[in-house]
Amino acid sequence: MSFSSLVQDLSLRDSGAPRRRAEASVSTIDDRASHISMAKSYTSTAATSVSISGDISSQLHAGYSHPLARTWQAERQLTKSMLIYPLFISDQDDEEVLIPSLPNQYRRGINRLIPFLEPLVHKGLRSVILFGVPMRPGTKDALGTAADDPEGPVIRSIQLLRRRFPHLYIVCDVCLCEYTSHGHCGILREDGSLNNQLSVDRISDVAVAYARAGAHCVAPSDMNDGRIRAIKLKLIEEGIVHSVTLMSYAAKFSGCLYGPFRDAAGSAPSFGDRRCYQLPPGGRGLARRAIVRDINEGADIIMVKPAGQYLDIISDAKELGKDLPIAAYQVSGEFAMIHAAAKAGVFDLKTMVFESTESILRAGASIVISYFVPELLDWLSN
């Protein structure tokens, strides 16, 4: 007998039953009412289950029905300590110039750094990454000799920031492209191709110079083969390997998202491009090999760059370097696109900034380098 038939049968029997003695009728009626109630309840439950696709494990809404419960669904919560803010440091001490292609971002001389950073540090800024920008005529040459100049913008900024903000974690990008006359990320052969051996030797010297000056972390972005091992060995020789983090731009892809950065840093190549040493956009296997290589050479942190278009590579990096922190650089082109779309009314800026950043964390990163850091410091406080 079906449950609907049972309900109908019990209802008919209840309505047509003869009256009996009072002492027996109360118990009988209670029993019948109980059976009817149970049957109706079961029928209701059975009917409800018909409307649900799947078994009881398909019921998910309760797990994110409350705002706090929604935050618990994320493996990583965005915090201020995860953020690194890029700074462009000019060798013109009093310069403060807006970068037109990079909204709200400036190239600053060393005398402008402290007034700019002080309020951000008070809001919770924990880390910056420094990019030197030589503007004086005659500074650039074929070997990038100004990169580790003790009077250059990076080394002077490291020393100043260490004095004024002792708790600020200072990362230094290590590359030659800003300092070479040709704009490439190393030393070239006569035919214009990259001389990997000479480039690695020069890059590792620059990294050690920044470390000696007080950088907490050196981050080579040149993508020359073997530079992580070379830097690690020189840090060991200097006796400072125990106190200087080595963050590798292990999976840095070539592409069109670096334009605003090159405007800011004056680092566009004077000829050709960087496709022979930066990774091709479709080269997932190459990226995985580069990540494994740099882990084996002694990298302490693995970085993926750009971020939004390469979430799969961030995920791969976390899989391959499961015991290492993974960083992702939301590059200048990503930043500019988000700003342009928000200005055009496509979406709300704050909403998209959080959505894009949280997707980077979801993919596996626990460090985010972003030009949105000043806004995020305010939004995370509120």
Active-site residue identified among 305, 318, 343, 350: 305
* 252 classed as catalytic: yes
Q: What b/e readout covers 127-164, taking b as 16+ CB neighbours within 10 angstroms?
A: bbbbbbbbeeeebbeebbbbbbbeebbbbbbbebbeee
Rounded Cα distance, 353 and 372, in Å: 8
Active-site residue identified among 140, 232, 252, 318: 252
Determine the 3-state secondary structure of 345 from DSSP: coil
Strand partners, 133: 90
Does 177 carry a binding-site annotation?
Answer: yes
- Running DSSP on this structure, what letter comes out for residue 18? P
For residue 336, give every residue at least 6 positions away whose Cβ sits within 8 Å of its Cβ, in sequence order, or none.
101, 102, 103, 260
Pseudo-torsion of CA 312, 255, 87, 154, nearest 10°? 110
Does 256 carry a binding-site annotation?
Answer: no
Does 262 carry a binding-site annotation?
Answer: yes
Does 185 carry a binding-site annotation?
Answer: yes
* 318 classed as catalytic: no
Strand partners, 171: 129, 217
The C-alpha angle 370, 375, 379, rounded to 5 degrees, equals 120
Does 274 carry a binding-site annotation?
Answer: yes
> Which is it for strands 169-174 and 127-133: parallel, antiparallel or unpaired?
parallel
For residue 367, give every residue at least 6 positions away whose Cβ sits within 8 Å of its Cβ, in sequence order, or none.
82, 84, 301, 303, 325, 326, 327, 328
Output the known binding site for 5-aminolevulinate: 262, 274, 332, 371
Q: Active-site positions?
A: 252, 305
Known binding-site residue numbers for Zn(2+) = 175, 177, 185
- Binding residues are 175, 177, 185, 262, 274, 332, 371
